[in-house]
Amino acid sequence: MFRLPVLVLLTLAIAFGGGAMSASWTLKATSGFGAIKLGSWSAYPELQTADADPFAKAHRADNGRILLGRAEGLVFTALSDEAGAALSGRCAYDISGTTPPTRFWFLQVTDARGAPLDTPARFPTSLNSWTTLRNSDGAFTIRVSADPSPGNWIRLDSDAGISFVLTLIDTPAAASASMIELDMPTIKRIGCRDA
């Protein structure tokens, strides 16, 4: 007698629960389509524009962060080094080279989801174009490690996966059709504590 209503309720629970879980997973898995990849760095130039795809708009609404519009700048994220290995908080890295033309940039280390790392206030957690020491040709090298290093240094002491976030503010590269030709800094693993 109650078999049919119970089966209908069970089917509806599975359908709605599965649909909600798959939508949540999709929003966390990607920022949408149209990514550009330059070495280890990737960006979504259409993420904040009216041309953004439905997944990007939903991701933006779910994320709750204010993102830069195409005319304002571009955010690049790296989850792996130049060799393709996933970034780890237990390793040391050198980020070297130049950035695309921009009025201002800053580099920070975050966890794999993009949240700031829990680092004591006395240690540098980011660098920007005004505070970074450069060579005579404009190139720079930033050491990201647990141990202090002379020159440009960002502290990294974590047991989890990390990401590097390079934000370019007021850059002509954001409006360029040939973003594939931009020069991005390279990420080289120096060594790891558990190796």
Tell me the β-bridge partners of 141: 96
Q: Which residue has the higher pLDDT, 4 or 61?
A: 4
**Across residues 72-80, what is the average pLDDT?**
85
- In this predicted structure, the answer to whether residue 52 has a pLDDT above a threshold of 90 is no
- In this predicted structure, the answer to whether residue 50 has a pLDDT above a threshold of 70 is no
The pLDDT of residue 134 is 92
The pLDDT of residue 142 is 95
Residue 93 host element (H or E): strand 91-97
Q: Which residue has the higher pLDDT, 140 or 29?
A: 140
- The confidence band for 164, taking pLDDT boundaries of 50, 70 and 90, is very high
Give the Cα separation of 177 and 195 in Å (integer). Answer: 42
**Across residues 86-94, what is the average pLDDT?**
92
Residue pair 40/82 in contact (Cβ under 8 Å)? The answer is: yes
Q: H-type helices in 1-158, by residue range?
A: 3-29, 54-63
The pLDDT of residue 55 is 64
- The confidence band for 118, taking pLDDT boundaries of 50, 70 and 90, is confident
**Across residues 56-84, what is the average pLDDT?**
72
Which residues are within 8 A (CB) of 73 and not within 5 positions of it... i.e. 6 or more apart? 102, 167, 168, 169, 170, 171, 174
Q: Which residue has the higher pLDDT, 68 or 83?
A: 83
pLDDT in tens, 131-152: 999 999 989 999 999 888 899 9
- The confidence band for 80, taking pLDDT boundaries of 50, 70 and 90, is very high
